[in-house]
Amino acid sequence: MFKINQLIASVLMLAITSLTYAADQKLVLTGSSTIAPLAVELGKRFEKLNPGVRVDVQSGGSSRGVSDARSGLADIGMASRALKDEEKDLKSFTIALDGIGVILHKDNPVKTLTDQQVIDIYTGKITNWRDVGGKDGRITVVNKAEGRSTLELFTHYYKLKNSDIKAQVVIGDNQQGIKTVAGNPGAIGYVSIGTAEFESGNGTPIKLLPMEGVAASVENVRNGSFPLSRPLNLVTKYVPMGLVKQFIDFTRSKEVADLVEAQYFVPLPH
């Protein structure tokens, strides 16, 4: 009888161990739509190096990433911004740097806008391009949706509240913003510099405006001269262990610098 009980206990322990092992073989990342495409590529390489591991990446905004990491809905959250004071109970790990730039349609003759002109456009005080040196035509203001870190950084930099902004179009991720501006010669938006630089270099009819006299480019984010840049972070509830730690260490290593650059972000110095 003792041997049978011992055998049952061993089988149960083996089953529990197998289930735990199986659960540990899947990583769920949610959050920032800016980080998501990079996380997908990082996940693919990590899976190749670790057979049997699956990395599931879902977007939805930085606020979702922080919330899901805290609640346990995700193993790792993605936040394309620094943690706020009320989020400092979480652990944050920077994997790359990015900048945020203002974009116009390529055919818009306006070459630069002052900070005050951007503020006046976004708050509805300026509604026609002729008032800032452009052609006569209504300005279409494109804004980011609530919960997007790009919105938070943009409003923080220009000292605005989201409720101050008079937008005609509200978008989610960078690609939506770029498509909206590319399809509307009167539109203005703001997106990840890396994504915009890539798209404009591949024929998408948009252009990045300088900020404080500094060109909006990945290189200027890299050298620290561009005024509106941000960290791209992975976020966890606890100090990472096991597979989570292994993945985060991998994403911060020089072995993935090529993937970071391929997404037009700035790799960490090594």
pLDDT, one tens digit per residue, over 190-243 is 998 988 998 999 999 999 999 999 999 989 998 889 999 889 999 999 999 999
Task: Report yes or no: 158 and 119 within 8 Å, Cβ to Cβ.
Answer: yes
Distance CA 229, CA 260 (A): 16
Q: Where in the chain is the domain with CATH 3.40.190.10?
A: 2-97+231-267, 99-222
Residues in a beta bridge with 104: 188, 207
Listed residue (28, 34, 18) closest to 54, CA to CA:
28
- Token pair, residue 177, equals 């913003």
Centre a 10 Å sphere on the Cβ of residue 255 and count the other Cβ atoms it contains.
Answer: 12
Q: Is the pTM of this model over 0.75?
A: no
Radius of gyration of the chain measured on its C-alpha atoms: 22
User: Residue 110 is which amino acid?
Assistant: V
State the CATH class of domain 99-222.
alpha beta
pLDDT per position as a tens digit, 114-161: 999 999 999 999 999 999 999 999 999 999 998 787 888 899 999 999
What's the fold here for domain 2-97+231-267?
A: D-Maltodextrin-Binding Protein; domain 2 (3.40.190)
* Greatest C-alpha distance within the chain: 92
